[in-house]
A and B are shown apart, each in its own frame.
Chain A
Amino acid sequence: MRLSLGPILYFWSKETVQAFYAEAASWPVDVVYLGETVCAKRRALRPADWLALADRLAEAGKEVVLSTQVLLESEADLHTLEHICGNGRYQVEANDAAALHLLGGHTGFVSGPHINAYNAATLQWLAGLGARRWVPPAELSRDAIADLQHARPEGMETEVFAYGRLPLAFSARCFTARAANVPKDRCEMRCEENPEGLAMHTQEEQTLFTVNGIQLQSGTPCNLLPEIEDLRRLEIDVLRISPQPRDTGRIAAAFRAALDGPAPPSPDELADLAPEGFNNGYWRGQPGMVWDPR
C-alpha cells in the first residue's frame, strides 16, 4: 500500500505552500496531489508555480498528480481547467464531469473523490474513459467499497481518504465571507487567516462542521490509521492524507510505520492532534461524525 498527500484544501500563502512541499519531499509519501480544488479566487500560486513544485517533487521521486477545481462555473474556471488537463507532463485528478470531458480518451487520469462513483457500472465506465485510479466519495462505507473491490475493472487502483477533515459540501456561497459579514467579492482572502478553516459548533458546543470558504468539511478529522489491517485486507492501493498546517509529516510517518512495521498502531497514536476527537463513521457504515473505537 502506498501513501499520498491530497491537495491542500485550505488557503495558505505561497511561502507556506512552498515550505510545506519542500518538507514533504522527504516524507514517506509516494504520491502528491497539487493544486487548488476549492476556490478560484485563491491564486497565491500561479500555474507556473504549481508546475515548478511538481518538477521538484517529481525529482524527489514522488508521483505527482495535478488536482482540479470541484465547482466550475465561470469561463475563467474552465480556462484554468483546460490548462491543467492539457499540461502534457503530469497526470490529472478529475473532480468534475468537465474534467472528464477534457481528459476522456487520454489514458491514466485519477477520478477524484468528487466524481460520484458509487457502483461497479460507474467504475467500469470511468475505466473506459481512461481512469486508472479512483477515490471513493467520502460517504461510501467500507462494505460498499469492499463490493467495488471485487468488481473493479482490471488495472483500476483504489485510493481511500484516510486522514483529515472530510470535504462534505460545496456551495456558490462563501461561508468564510459570511462569517466575516462581507460579500464574497470583497472577501479580502480571509481564508488565509484560518489555515485549517473555521470551526462551527452547535449551541451546545458540539463540534459540527469546519468552514473552509465555499466548502464545508467535517468538524473532526477522519482517521483510518486503526483500520490499517482492514484496508490491507481489502487491497486498497493508496491511502490519502489531507495536508494539515502542522504535523503532516508525523501523520505520514505514523501511517508508514503502521504499514511497514510488525506491530499494529497504538490506539492513542495521533490522539493529541485532535482534542475534539476523530471520526470513522462513514468507514463503519454509520453517520460520518461517529467515532467507533471497536
Chain B
Amino acid sequence: MAVVARKPELICPAGSLPALRAAVDEGADAVYIGFQDATNARNFPGLNFGPDAAREGIRYARRTGARVLLALNTYPRTAHWPRWTGAVDRAAELGVDAVILADPGLLHYAAGTYPDLRLHLSVQGSATNRHAIAFYHEQFGIRRVVLPRVLSLAQVHQIVERSPVEIEVFGFGSLCVMVEGRCALSSYVTGESPNTCGVCSPAKAVRWEETPAGRQSRLNGVLIDRYAPDEAAGYPTLCKGRYRVGEATYYAIEEPTGLNVLQMLPQLMASGVAAIKVEGRQRSPAYVREVTRVLRAALDACAADPRRFLVREEWSAVLGRLVEGHSHTLGALHRPWQ
C-alpha cells in the first residue's frame, strides 16, 4: 500500500455500554468491544457485552456514524472450540463492522463461513513483518493488522509501505513489553494467559500484604514487588515487578509505565497508519471519556496542521494523570534502550 499521509481513525476501548457511549460522544471513529467470556483478551469480571448490550451499543454508535469492532482474539483449545465459533456467528449476526481475530483456525472459519465479514488481525496475532502480514491477507483476506507494540517508528513506516492491508498501531494505554501473542509469563505463574484465557496476571491471583518490610504484592504466591512506606504501589503485572538478576534488584523486565504517542502524532500520520488504538477495555467510562476527548483534539489539531503540531499542556496534564505508573513512554516507536 503506497504511503499516503492520512488522518488516522481513533479506535477507543469499551468494556461496558457507558464506556462505549462516552467514547462515541467524545468523537471516537470506532470502538472495540468483547463478549462476556474468554473469547477476548480482556476477560475480566463485570466487564464486556452480552447480546442486548452489544445490540444497543451498535445502535448508539451508528447514530453518529461510529463503527463497532469486536475483539475475538484469544486462542481456543479444541474442547472449547464451539464457544469461539459461536461467538463469530453472533458477531456476524449482530452486524459488527469488523471482527478482530488472532487464531488461524478461527480466521479460517470466519473467512469461510462469512465471506463478507470484515476481518482484522489482532495484535495477539504477532504479525511484526511484511511477510507475515501478506500471508494473513492471502490466507484469510484480512483487511487490517494491529501491530505488536515492539516496532520502531521506522519499522512501522516500512511495513505500511509494503503492506497490502491497513495498519493500526497502539497510541495510548498500558504497554506490553513482550510481543503480544508470544508471552506465556502469566500462565507460567498463574495458569492463565492472554492467549488461552484472555487475561494477564489475573486479579483473582493477586494478594496484597502489609508486612514489617513494607507492603507486598503477590501473584499466585510469587512475590512481585515490595514497596517502601511512602512508595506508590502499582498493579502486580508480572513483567512490572522488581526482581534480582546478579547483584541488583530492579525492574528487571520493564518499569511500570504507560504508552503515550502524542508527541509523535505528526510522524505517525506521515507514515500512513490507518488507525490509532487506545488500550484499556478494563478502564472506567470516565477514563475512556477523558482519553478519547484528548486524543480526538490532538488528532484533529495534527491533521489540520501537522508541521506546527505541539502537544498542549492541558492534554499532557490529563493523560499524565491517567497513565499507568503516572509516567509514560513512546514505547518501542522511539527506542531509548536500543
Q: How far is the CA of A174 from the CA of B104 in the complex (A)?
A: 29
B220: chain A residues at CB < 8 Å are 287
Closest approach, in angstroms, between the C-beta of B4 and any C-beta of chain A? 22
**Inter-subunit contact B187/A72 (CB<8 Å):** no
Residues of A within 8 A of B (CB): 70-75, 77-78, 81, 96-98, 100-102, 104, 114, 116-126, 137-140, 143-144, 147-148, 151, 166, 168-175, 177-179, 183-185, 198-206, 208-209, 211, 216, 218, 281-282, 285-289
Of all chain B residues, the one with the shortest Cβ separation from A218 is: B188
Given contacts A119-B76, A119-B105, A138-B184, 14 further A-B contacts (CB under 8 A): A72-B129, A97-B127, A101-B138, A118-B105, A121-B81, A121-B105, A166-B188, A169-B185, A170-B178, A183-B338, A202-B244, A203-B244, A206-B222, A282-B187
**Inter-subunit contact A116/B338 (CB<8 Å):** no
Number of A-B contacts (CB under 8 A): 212
Contact sample, A vs B, 8 pairs, CB 8 Å cutoff: A70-B182, A73-B129, A78-B129, A140-B77, A166-B184, A174-B337, A288-B187, A289-B189
Closest approach, in angstroms, between the C-beta of B292 and any C-beta of chain A? 28
Q: Is B130 an interface residue (CB 8 A)?
A: yes
| B89-114 contact mask (Cβ, 8 Å, vs A): 1 or 0 | 00000000000001111101100000
Closest approach, in angstroms, between the C-beta of A261 and any C-beta of chain B? 32
Interface residues in B165-191 (C-beta closer than 8 Å to A)? 177-179, 181-185, 187-191
B129: chain A residues at CB < 8 Å are 72-73, 77-78, 96, 98
Q: Is B193 an interface residue (CB 8 A)?
A: yes
Q: Is B206 an interface residue (CB 8 A)?
A: no
Q: Is B263 an interface residue (CB 8 A)?
A: no
Identify A171's interface contact among B177, B190, B225, CB under 8 A: B177
B244: chain A residues at CB < 8 Å are 200-203, 205
**Inter-subunit contact A211/B135 (CB<8 Å):** no
Size band of the interface chain B makes with A: 35 or more
Identify A179's interface contact among B182, B193, B246, B338, CB under 8 A: B246
Closest approach, in angstroms, between the C-beta of A185 and any C-beta of chain B? 5
**Inter-subunit contact B222/A208 (CB<8 Å):** yes
Q: Is B223 an interface residue (CB 8 A)?
A: yes
Q: Is the interface of A mostly helix, strand, loop or mixed?
A: mixed
Identify A202's interface contact among B222, B335, B337, CB under 8 A: B222
Identify B104's interface contact among A122, A198, A202, CB under 8 A: A122
Closest approach, in angstroms, between the C-beta of A137 and any C-beta of chain B? 7
**Inter-subunit contact A73/B195 (CB<8 Å):** no
A77: chain B residues at CB < 8 Å are 129
**Inter-subunit contact A178/B337 (CB<8 Å):** yes
**Inter-subunit contact B245/A198 (CB<8 Å):** yes
Of all chain A residues, the one with the shortest Cβ separation from B135 is: A101
Please name the 9 residue pairs, one residue from A and one from B, whose CB atoms are nearest each other, closest first: A121-B105, A98-B131, A101-B135, A122-B105, A172-B150, A288-B188, A97-B132, A118-B75, A147-B78
**Inter-subunit contact B187/A287 (CB<8 Å):** yes
Closest approach, in angstroms, between the C-beta of B276 and any C-beta of chain A? 19
